[in-house]
Amino acid sequence: MYETNDDVVVRADLPGVDHKDIEVTLTDNALIIKGESKYEKEIEDKNIYRRERSYGQFARTLPISRKVRSDQARAGFMNGMLEVVIHKAAEAKEKTYKLDIH
């Protein structure tokens, strides 16, 4: 999770998770990522038979300390990487003022 001047950006590595198994919820003060990992791989080699399984649900809640524009947030998922971009509200953007020295 990091900030730019205009956005709060969250990136999460979710290898082996299908985008249909991910739920992203944004509240006034938190981003909630829930999902389910379903992985099954079978390998047959000569006299050896091996089966691997990995299943499980996960949930992460990330607090957001800035005021954000929830209605302008967007999420994308590609190659096992979830990226959520949340626009900051105008009053949350850092303002810089140059002061005159007298």
pLDDT of 21 above 70:
yes
Closest to 14 measured CA to CA, from 88, 75, 100: 75
DSSP conformation class of 99: P
pLDDT single digits (tens) 37-71 = 876 666 666 676 666 666 789 999 999 988 898 88
The CA R_g of the chain, rounded to the nearest whole Å, is 20
Predicted model pTM: 0.76
Strand order in the sheet with 30-45: 22-26, 30-45, 48-63
pLDDT, the chain, mean? 85
pLDDT single digits (tens) 69-94 = 888 999 999 999 999 999 998 876 66
